[in-house]
Amino acid sequence: MVVVTGQNKVSANPDDAMSSSDAEDDFQEPATPTATQAGQALPLLPQQFPEVVPLNVGGMFFTTRLSTLRRYEDTMLAAMFSGRHYIPTDAEGRYFIDRDGTYFGDILNFLRSGDLPPQERVRSVYKEAQYYSIGPLLDNLEDIQPLKGEKVRQAFLGLMPYYKEHLERIIEIAKLRAVQRKARFAKLKVCVFKEEMPITPYECPHFNSLRFERSDSDTKLFEHHCEVDVSFGPWEAVADVYDLLHCIVTDLSARGIAVEHQCIGVCDKHLINHYYCKRPIYEFKITWW
């Protein structure tokens, strides 16, 4: 006798019957994979790009050849459009790069024909070339103005001890004084000197040297700190005090800080006998609004 309940059939003969677990092992049907399982089980196929690629770079539209984007192998663009990475598209099917596209045209022009941007855009294009890791463009830009001159300037500033720290100190002191006095501007004294030893009218260089010969004991007599807020120096380079002042003003201005300076005299601190410190003292005026 066979009992049928719904679609499940049970054999009356216990010897002929199989356990439910055995039946499932022999006749288990493949389950339909979920989206998560499918993503884990099936690797994504390499993304295919057309020969002519439409681009949306931060809302600005460009069109170029795929070979142009792959011009140099060791660049971010070549990696992005190699097919190994997924690039999203906008509603119009353009491949989207989430980056300001203002200077992307200059990037493409270099990849197309090696053209370099005009001088006023060199710094900005250099920043984009760093982001996209385009080594040949970086090398070309570093060899023209203003970046070539900047390399020379940085080489000089590399000789200056604690230059960046001193800049930060100027900013912090000026900000604190302006806040405390509730003033529009703040003034501070800055000493800029090139020579290790103080120079007085009574001293003359030996053998046309910029250094003075003194014993160790004499040197200690001349060691002192000028009564200023920040002191730059000494350094060994052809560049003089005015060159360093130009660097200070340039770097502060690049951070949006309005600064003026003027020489207000020398330290004039008495050291020993007829020796006085003659390091120049400058007054910096920083205007905050």
Give pLDDT, residue 225.
81
CATH number for the domain including 113?
3.30.710.10
Within-domain flag for 98: yes
Within-domain flag for 210: no
- Measured between its terminal Cα atoms, the distance across the chain in Å is 101
3-state secondary structure of 80: helix
**Would you call 174 exposed, middle or buried from its count of C-beta atoms within 10 A (0-12, 13-18, 19+)?**
buried
The answer to whether residues 237 and 133 belong to one domain is no
Q: At 113, list the tokens.
A: 């024909």
The answer to whether residues 107 and 68 belong to one domain is yes
Within-domain flag for 9: no
The answer to whether residues 169 and 140 belong to one domain is no
Tokens 């609004």 belong to residue: 289
The answer to whether residues 139 and 163 belong to one domain is no
- Written as tens digits, the pLDDT of the chain (289 aa) is 444 444 444 444 545 544 444 444 444 444 444 444 444 544 456 789 999 999 999 999 999 999 999 999 999 999 999 999 899 999 999 999 999 999 999 999 999 999 999 999 999 999 999 999 999 999 999 999 999 999 999 999 998 889 999 999 999 999 999 999 999 999 999 999 987 655 554 444 443 444 445 555 555 555 678 899 999 988 888 889 999 999 999 999 999 999 999 999 998 887 777 778 888 999 999 999 9
Decide: 106 and 121 in contact? Cβ < 8 Å.
yes
**Domain of 86, in residue numbers:** 52-144
The answer to whether residues 192 and 281 belong to one domain is yes
The answer to whether residues 140 and 113 belong to one domain is yes
The answer to whether residues 137 and 236 belong to one domain is no
Tokens 């020398």 belong to residue: 266
Within-domain flag for 240: yes
The answer to whether residues 111 and 88 belong to one domain is yes
> Total structural domains in the chain?
2
Within-domain flag for 86: yes
CA separation for the pair 260, 63 (Å, rounded)? 47
Q: Count Cα atoms within 13 angstroms, Cβ side, for 14.
A: 0
Within-domain flag for 126: yes
